[in-house]
A and B are shown apart, each in its own frame.
Chain A
Amino acid sequence: MVFLNFFISGISLGSIYAIIALGYTMVYGIAKMLNFAHGDVIMVGAYVCFYAVARYELPPVLGVLIAMLLCTFLGIIVERLAYKPLRQAPSLAVLITAIGVSYFLQNAALLLWSSNPKVFPSIIGRGAYKLFDGALSVSHVTVLTIVTCLLIMIVLSLFINKTRLGKAMRACSEDKSAAQLMGINVNATISLTFAIGSGLAAVAGALLCSAYPTLMPTTGSLPGIKAFTAAVFGGIGSIPGAFLGGLMLGVIEIFAKAYISSQLSDAVVFAVLIIVLLVKPAGLLGKQVTEKV
């Protein structure tokens, strides 16, 4: 029963990683860049949600929606101002810019909201479901997190595989100039990708801070890095990969904390990553791309 409890916690944490990893993997798939500012968008989303719910006492659902909306705009603006001018630049320049944007967002948050940690009110309360006569307790936040992640995964897969815009995104991720020759507006498609990724980051922020209620300007960094790891783990550029990578990372992390050592858990996570990449360099579900000349 203890095992099951840890497993469910792992899936829940992994669901949050998966939602964040989707943002990394979609942006990488289309813009071929690692958006290291993605983790900080989570933090901005969480702050917006915090102020909406705790200060202005709006219903939590509305708070999350406002956070999604603002983060969507933030994502589009960051792409337009920081990354779009670098579309033809070497990837290293884009990477450094993304790190710059990350620090910019953290410091802007420091200025706006100070470094004092805020206690995030759970968007669904602190209750729990008791199963097996109380032997297994699953918090409402955990259930909400897992359900939200599944829902996002299903909707996103349908969008990518069945809709005209979703297919255009796949076409852009494969070959931008061929996509342009089809009449697809590549810049608009890239903006859309950032918008979706950032909107999802806001959801992840609200869920993350509902489970781990300390909110600071650096709150997004570590989950951001972990989710990036999850995206690589699953195969960067692959949406099912981000989902699988996120869930596995969460489960491994919780099990390592529970059965090995809570201090060593991150080391175990990254050790597993290294082993996976040694065996499958493109990640679990990543496609080995052979460059054609």
Chain B
Amino acid sequence: MSDNNQPILKVENIHVHYGSIHAIKGISFEVHEGEIVTLIGANGAGKSTTLNTISCLLHPTSGSISFLGETLAKIQPHKVVEKGLAQVPEGRRVFAQMTVQENLEMGAYTQTNAQDNAEELEKVFALFPRLQERRKQIAGTLSGGEQQMLAMGRALMSRPKLLMLDEPSMGLAPILVEQIFDIIADLHKTGATILLVEQNAQMALSIASRGYVLETGRIVTTGTGQELLSSPAIKKAYLGG
């Protein structure tokens, strides 16, 4: 958490189109080292689109994204991972027919040092003991919560400098949501930098350093997690009064 002036991720005025649909209409935000930044907003606000644009699965029609001071323009998605950016996609997207261990190995695809990978695997197992118990199990047979843990562990295996989480609470029972958010908070304590996209605004803001509120492709409000939690407008729109 040393250099707070130079952001790890800087998104400047990006526009993204799906064919004729203008999904992102000029949004800008920053993530600094050691922060948890959250993008909240309703379904269709453009949260996932923003993450996929940062991961270079989509390309902005205008605007720029820079990561660790380097512009991410027209590069292929697999190169982004090599630079230290990992995304846990919406709906987890684990490789259902591969084992837990193989899924984690795929997470470390860009890292070729076997010893480092073994150490990282131990760290992930320490964070998610359930995954260690089930390392030989086919990922498709895991429960939703376990699959979310696997997707997070898999992303951590690439030793990212920025971890992006897309709706980690989606489809999980409240107790599991809490467990997942505890783990995110723990990761943050160990120094991880996290960009968190959530519909569950209450949970996301309670652990976030800062938050941005997205509405139909635009950022409408920004502030610290606490500020947004206590803002009457936010309460009304996203926190159920």
Task: Report if A70 contacts B (CB, 8 A).
Answer: no
Contact with B along A259-290 (1 / 0, CB 8 A): 00000000000000000000000000001000
Task: Report if B55 contacts A (CB, 8 A).
Answer: yes
B97 lies within 8 A of A182 (CB): no
- In the assembled complex, the Cα of A164 lies from the Cα of B81 at a distance in Å of 17
Question: Which of B55, B78, B86, B89 contacts A184, CB < 8 Å?
Answer: B78
Task: Report if A171 contacts B (CB, 8 A).
Answer: yes
B89 lies within 8 A of A181 (CB): yes
User: CB-CB < 8 A to B34: which residues of A?
Assistant: none
B77 lies within 8 A of A175 (CB): no
With known contacts A164-B109, A167-B102, A175-B93, A182–B76 Cβ distance under 8 A: no
Main secondary structure of the interface of A (DSSP, over half): helix
* Nearest CB on B from A283, distance (A): 16
Task: Report if B193 contacts A (CB, 8 A).
Answer: no
User: CB-CB < 8 A to B102: which residues of A?
Assistant: 167, 170
Among A181, A184, A186, A292, find the residue whose CB has the most chain B CB atoms closer than 10 A: A181
Task: Report if B73 contacts A (CB, 8 A).
Answer: no
* Nearest CB on A from B85, distance (A): 9
Determine the residue in chain A with the shortest Cβ distance to B77: A180
A183 lies within 8 A of B158 (CB): yes
B98 lies within 8 A of A183 (CB): no
Task: Report if A177 contacts B (CB, 8 A).
Answer: yes
Which chain A residues have a beta carbon within 8 Å of chain B's beta carbons? 164, 167-168, 170-171, 174-175, 177-187, 287, 292
Additional A-B contact list (17), CB under 8 Å, known A170-B95, A184-B78, A186-B78 = A167-B106, A170-B102, A171-B98, A171-B106, A174-B97, A174-B98, A177-B89, A177-B93, A179-B106, A181-B87, A182-B78, A182-B81, A182-B106, A182-B158, A183-B80, A183-B158, A184-B106
